[in-house]
Amino acid sequence: MFNWLEKNPFFFTVAFLLVFSVAGLVEILPGFAKTARPIEGLKPYSVLETAGRQVYMKEGCYNCHSQLIRPFKAETDRYGEYSKSGEYAYDRPFLWGSKRIGPDLHRVGDNKTSDWHSNHMWEPTSVVPNSIMPSYKHNFSKNTDFETAYAEAYTNKVVFGVPYDAEGENSIKLGTLEEAKAEFMKEAEIIVLEMKNKDIEEAFKNGEVKEIVALIAYMNSLGQKRRAPAQNIQANK
């Protein structure tokens, strides 16, 4: 058998690839199945955060910012606790990024406030004097696309099993379109008040949620806030 394979390069290659593939799957899949599970206490994105994530992708923020803190002291000293694979369980697609023209943002919600983000997005140099980031003033005038964000969250629930409406403190209520809209507005109101921007407040009173509100909600979610309160305390010990 082996002598025959050695004399037939094509079949030898096929046999080698087959054996190599099986061995690779046996080695990789068990570890992948373990690490791909959501980290304990991980919360799905709310509809407002999902809408903000869509704005983040639309604006191409991942071209200049990563969301992946590596387990090196230089990284953790600057950005915080290193990233765990299970933290990305509900991310579709992943936004790891490949460049750091700007800082990593995977823990930005742990150390920046809504009004800081508001000032930064309106005029970056007002809070970071040497910043080369462009301003995103158009996000202060464009309305958030609630329907698309709800559709994405609902799809993630039905197709990918993201645990919306599940029992427990790490669940996010999705419900019907009307229920989701009510939660969306309630969450947006908190961000609006924290931003301290009169124009955004006035727009909200008229029933409008601007893209900047959703984007800030998403930014605020990055970090320990996506984990249940007990896990937050444990992680920060």
Written in H, E and C, the secondary structure of 180-220 is HHHHHHHHHHHHHHHHCCHHHHHHHHCCCCEHHHHHHHHHH
**Mean pLDDT, residues 4-19:** 77
Quote the pLDDT of residue 236.
42
d(CA 217, CA 209): 12
Position 29 confidence tier, pLDDT thresholds 50, 70, 90: low
Is pLDDT above 70 for 2? no
**Mean pLDDT, residues 77-84:** 92
Quote the pLDDT of residue 1.
59
Quote the pLDDT of residue 215.
98
Global confidence as pTM: 0.82
Tell me if 192 sits within 8 A of 201, measured CB to CB.
yes
Is pLDDT above 60 for 205? yes
**Mean pLDDT, residues 153-167:** 92
Q: What are phi and psi of 25, to 5 degrees?
A: -65, -40
Joined tokens for residue 107: 């823990």
Residue with the bigger pLDDT between 51 and 97: it is 51
Q: What is the mean pLDDT of the chain?
A: 88
Is pLDDT above 50 for 235? no
